[in-house]
Structure 1
Amino acid sequence: MPRPGLARKENEPDTPQGMDLRELPRGVRAELRGLSPEMAEIVGAHLLMAGQLIATDPQLAYAHAEAARRRAARLSVTREATGEAAYAAGEYQVALHEFRALRRMKGGTEFIAAMADCERALGRPDKALKLVREGLDAKPDFSQRVELRLVEAGARVDLGQVPEALRLLRHEIEASAGRGSRAARVRLRYGYADLLEKTGDPENAEKWFAAAATLDSDGETDAGDRVAALQGIVLEVDEEALVGDPEDEVVEEPAEETGAEEDDSEKEGEFEEDEPAAPVSFVDDVEAEVAELLGEDESPDQASDDEATNGDEGEDDDR
């Protein structure tokens, strides 16, 4: 008879066989050393399988993560795997519970954006906004800040505040000025484009999906497909041709930031404070960024500006 904790529970997936636990991250393997060798083998196999399945079969990934958590609930790695798999599977109440447990165990604000999005999914946008504000007050890094802003924009839409949702993402694009990880910049532009399309602005949505696709050289998103759909193209898209040569993607944001831009990026953008940026100038910025990312010709207005500045394109781009 198997020792307690080793036996498979009813409706639980079988323990995966032949798994190489060396594929687990070093931190995960370190936590597993606190278990008996036999238990570590079982828990590690379920964790590894959950990670392999989460993108293709989140429900089964969740079942494997839960099998690991049931046997080693005191390990943060099992709680994190369960939270992430439950979130991917749409089990938002479970995910929220696990993320809360993780926060108690590890501290910090790493999981606040996911917690806030769970609150949104559970129909509680006000609670989501409260968590977002808490996360922003902690001065997160750029990637975490983008995730918080995306959740905040979604919560504003849930509350019927669509213009404010668009303003939040527009301001974040302006304030970041090309800084931060490429993946986060793709997420930000994709989220803005998606919201533009959902709120009835397909023309600008197409431009921002194109900007996201050009940055997304690894094809992590379906931004290229979204561009094709908005253009009415019904054929397979050559992704390499769509994103272009990575060497051509030299600059997609101003290379130099002014002091004002740096100050702006540090502000948390309270809802009560109105942003001074004029819509017309942002439209011009959109055209400039997308044209540069896609290698398009300059618009007539840009050409006129270049003549006025002796054709100094670099200076025009850095504004």
Structure 2
Amino acid sequence: MSDSSGNDGRRDSRPHGNRAPRSSGRPTGGRPGEGRPSDGGPRRDNAAGGPARGKLASGGPDRPARPPRNDGSGRPERGGRPDRGSGRSDGPPEKRLWTKGGAPARGDRDASAREPEEDRDPYGIRSVRAFHQAPEIPEGITPKMLDRIASNELKTLSKENAEGVALHLVMVSQLIESDPALAHQHAISAARRAGRIGVVRETLAITAYATEDYALALRELRTYRRISGSDDQLPMMVDSERGLERPERALELGRSVRRSTLSTPVQVELAIAMSGARLDLGQAEEALVELQIPQLDPTKAFSYSPALFGAYGTVLEELGREEEAAIWFERADIAAEALDDDGEATVEVFEEEVEFDDASFEDSDGVDGVAEKKGGNEGENGERVN
């Protein structure tokens, strides 16, 4: 799959989605946004036409601000049980933040000041409330162009508002590759109208990431995770920490979720992002270990394989193992081409050596004395794609 950014992606460490770009997704020692990923960013596993993980199209590597807890879990810290007071009568009554019914305590003028930030603005609405001029929607764009999964999330809105939000989301999916800045303006417009919808906040995070506003991306990704309860954008969160030049926090965030709870593509994306954070810290050996996962299998090309193989090659290159790096770069290209040609999510790639003996020449069809190889359908250099 070609890199639509015009960048060969050799040094691009940004997490990718289901259709990983050819020779891209490699972690770098710099910021995670060096060059544009061919998929436009992270994706969700949805259908084409709506906002996604990496690619704003399938609400679905090839799919999005809450303050983190001290334990790195990303869940908002509510501060425990409300203080009900000690009942002592030898002094002024202690102010209570909440009554039993959940309303502010009577006469507590300081309640709003003591209220946790995430409770005052639980959906991060303020981040999208500044003055904003909504971009125009071109003729021919209709709400029906939004994919079904994203459309379903908008059903809680009024019909008129849902249609307006859908139009902006469609524009994001169409512009994220060619004009990420304008796509970001459409995402802001959608968030101002539907700030409590998960796919909308995810979309805003993706466009912020694409425009290298990593602080906003991280904030919106936390909001998305709080709304949706999903960790599928954890790799982008890790990479956003890298973009903010906080590789230690990136590693801590990546370790805050059990890998086994993540889908396989997300596990791969997370490994790539964690490897990049290791490189940021100058830990090339550890970066290589981060990528040594079961999915690093050169005999099969999954949607995430090109990015993973390329990332592995990049780290080998950092270690001075140029010959090995070249092999993995070639494997990344082969996997990408196989996926492009086959159009399937999984392709088996075989590398085999053919030994000839005298009998094989006698049994051949007589074409230049070369025996027919077994298995049919051979590619160049002995690679066969089924």
TM-score (normalizing by structure 1): 0.63
Report deviation, 1:41: 2.2
Q: Does 1:296 find its partner at 2:381?
A: yes
Answer yes or no: is the 8 Å Cα contact 2:301–2:338 preserved in 1. no
Higher relative contact order (CA 8 A, sep 6+): 2
Question: What residue in structure 1 maps to residue 349 of structure 2?
Answer: 251
Report if aligned partners of 1:109, 1:138 keep a CA contact under 8 Å in 2: no
Say whether the 8 Å CA contact 1:129–1:155 is kept in structure 2. Answer: yes
Q: Which residue in the other structure is 2:331 paired with?
A: 211
**What residue in structure 1 maps to residue 152 of structure 2?**
30
2:197 is equivalent to residue 99 of structure 1:
no
Tell me if structure 2 keeps the 8 A contact 1:143–1:180: no
Instruction: Give the secondary-structure state (helix, strand or coil) at the position aligned to 1:135.
Output: coil
Aligned: 1:183 with 2:183: no
Aligned residue runs from structure 1 range 5-154, under 5 A: 10-154=132-276
**Distance between the aligned counterparts of 2:253 and 2:245, measured in 1?**
14
**Aligned equivalents of 1:34 and 1:106: distance in 2?**
14
Question: Structure 1 pair 184/45, CA: closer, same or farther in 2 (3 Å)?
Answer: same
C-alpha distance after superposition, 1:52-78 (max 9, x if no partner): 111221111111111110111011121
Q: Provide the rounded CA distance (Å) in 2 between the counterparts of 1:131 and 1:180.
A: 30
- Matched pairs, number: 227
Query: 1:121-141: CA deviations, max 9, x gaps?
Result: 101111111121123445322
Structure 1 residues 78, 160: closer, same or farther in 2, change over 3 A?
same
SS of the equivalent of 1:128 reads helix
Instruction: Give the C-alpha shift of residue 294 in structure 1.
Output: 7.0
Over 3 Å counting, the alpha-carbon distance change for 1:97 and 1:175 in structure 2 is closer
TM-score norm. by structure 2 comes to 0.53
Give, in whole Å, the separation in 2 of the partners of 1:75 and 1:211: 40
Q: Deviations over 1:12-37 (max 9, x none)?
A: 32234431222211122122232223
Once the two structures are superposed, what CA deviation does each residue of 1:202-247 show, in whole Å capped at 9, x if it has no partner? 4332221211111113777xxxxxxxxxxxxxxxxxxx7xxx999x
Unaligned runs of 5+ in 1: 1-8, 221-239, 255-292, 299-319
In the TM superposition, residue 253 of structure 1 has moved relative to its aligned partner by 8.8
- Equivalent-residue separation in structure 2 for 1:137 and 1:146 (angstroms): 10
Deviations 1:258-311 (A, max 9, x none): xxxxxxxxxxxxxxxxxxxxxxxxxxxxxxxxxxx975369xxxxxxxxxxxxx
1:88-109 CA distance string (max 9 Å, x none): 1111111101110011111132
- Partner amino acid, structure 1, of 2:181: Q
In 1, Cα distance between the equivalents of 2:203 and 2:169?
7
Larger-Rg structure: 2
SS at match of 2:231: coil
Q: Quick check: 1:167 aligned with 2:289? A: yes
Counterpart CA distance in 1 for 2:271 and 2:277 is: 10
**Distance 1:155-1:63 versus aligned 2 partners, 3 A rule:** same
Moved more, 30-39 or 196-205: 196-205
Percentage of matched positions with identical amino acids = 36
Checking the alignment, whether the CA contact within 8 Å between 1:86 and 1:95 is kept in structure 2 is: yes
Q: Give the distance between the partners of 1:200 and 1:15, measured in 2 at CA.
A: 51
